[in-house]
């Protein structure tokens, strides 16, 4: 059972009213206690998790708050345990709008809503709205037209800065280039949308976002699906590339893929294990580590490497050979992303 502690000046008035109502209408009494609980949370400036936990305990069912703009979901079971949602919200579940930008509070149950549940929804939504009103938006930079302006080097700088102000961008931000999607802008310390393959640009002032966008697009070319047939990182930051960015740009000026890239591409077509094995050799700190990563016996890896070395034409057991392989893998991903391979 949820124990509510009210501020001293509030406690006596609410409890007295609840006790008097309990004799006349238990539902009304419970509703008053719900109001008192959320008033108390708002007075103490409680966070979203406390608000959702109170709603779940009072409603007797799991409750989730979904805030797509800030890319945040808080879900709490009826027993007060915070738990990640495993399914999308059901349209039949009762809900209440928390903010005009799409945040909603949802009771994970079906059927008619009683007095207590209705009051829980209304008061919890109001308390959550108060929290979001004082929480900086993590969803900055998601108006497509304005984002296009701040990322476009051809737009006058004064216009870009005006668009940045309308987006509410912070003093330090960076561009994100999602695979197959429109560009995004996020705050310097903010992560891109989880689960998406993306390139991340350098941290810059809003006026310099076109440069961050160019860096993000280059980083995106070095990402991969992370599968056996397309091994590699799903997210790449431009800040991690160093001289590799210069090498990619230099390779772009060549009339076709570099010889090592063509050789690697041919080798990849000979057997399904080739790319995953070579990527593991580059990623792992040792050959035994690569075998563990691939979940194969060390001798199996040795046999695969002997075949790969014969196809590539260089030694993969030396630091120089692995560096050459690392560059060839990266440049192959860049070439494929550009459609030149």
At 272-300, the pLDDT tens digits run 889 989 999 888 888 888 888 778 898 88
Res 24: pLDDT = 47
Domain segments of the chain as ranges: 8-133, 144-221, 242-337
Tell me: pLDDT of 29 over 50.
Answer: yes
Q: Which residues sit opposite 74 in a β-bridge?
A: 65
Q: How far apart are CA 281 and CA 305, in angstroms?
A: 9
How many CA atoms, within 13 angstroms, populate the side-chain half-sphere of residue 259?
Answer: 4
pLDDT band at 141, cuts 50/70/90?
very low
Q: How far apart are CA 275 and CA 267, in angstroms?
A: 8
Res 140: pLDDT = 44
- Mean pLDDT within 51-57: 93
> What predicted TM-score, i.e. pTM, was given to this entire model?
0.58
Tell me: pLDDT of 242 over 70.
Answer: yes
Tokens at 16, concatenated: 């007295």
Res 219: pLDDT = 96
Q: Are 122 and 96 in contact (CB under 8 A)?
A: yes
pLDDT tens, 110-129? 888 888 889 999 999 999 99
Most confident of 96-105, 152-161, 264-273, 282-291: 152-161
Res 28: pLDDT = 62
CATH code for the domain defined by 242-337: 1.10.10
pLDDT tens, 76-90? 999 998 888 878 788
């Amino acid at each position: 059972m949820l124990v509510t502690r009210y501020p001293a000046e509030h406690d006596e008035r609410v409890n007295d009213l609840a006790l008097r109502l309990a004799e006349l209408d238990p539902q009304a009494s419970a509703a008053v206690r719900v109001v008192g609980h959320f008033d108390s949370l708002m007075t103490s400036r409680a966070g979203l998790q406390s608000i959702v936990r109170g709603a779940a305990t009072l409603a007797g069912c799991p409750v989730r708050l979904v805030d797509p703009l800030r890319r945040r979901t808080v879900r709490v079971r009826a027993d007060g345990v915070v738990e990640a949602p495993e399914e999308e919200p059901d349209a039949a579940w009762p809900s209440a709008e928390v903010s005009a930008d799409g945040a909603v509070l949802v009771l994970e149950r079906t059927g008619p809503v009683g007095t207590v549940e209705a009051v829980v929804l209304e008061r919890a939504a109001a308390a959550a709205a108060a929290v979001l009103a004082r929480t900086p938006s993590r969803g900055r930079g998601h108006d497509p037209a304005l984002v296009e302006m701040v990322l476009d080097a051809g737009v006058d700088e004064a216009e870009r800065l005006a668009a940045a102000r309308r987006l509410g961008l912070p003093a330090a931000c960076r561009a994100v280039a999602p695979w197959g999607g429109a560009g995004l802008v996020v705050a310097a310390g903010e992560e891109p949308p989880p689960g998406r393959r993306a390139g991340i640009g350098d941290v810059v002032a809003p006026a310099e976002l076109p440069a961050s966008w160019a860096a993000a697009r280059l980083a995106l070319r070095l990402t991969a699906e992370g599968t056996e047939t397309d091994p590699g990182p799903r997210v790449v930051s431009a800040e991690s590339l160093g001289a590799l960015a210069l090498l990619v740009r230099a390779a772009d000026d060549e009339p076709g893929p570099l010889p090592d890239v063509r050789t690697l591409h041919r080798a990849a077509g000979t057997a399904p294990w080739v790319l995953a094995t070579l990527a593991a050799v580059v990623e792992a700190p040792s050959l035994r580590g690569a075998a563990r990563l691939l979940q194969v016996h060390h001798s199996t890896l040795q046999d695969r490497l002997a075949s790969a070395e014969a196809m590539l034409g260089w030694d993969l057991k030396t630091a120089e050979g692995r560096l050459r392989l690392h560059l060839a893998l990266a440049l192959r991903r860049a070439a494929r992303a550009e459609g030149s391979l």
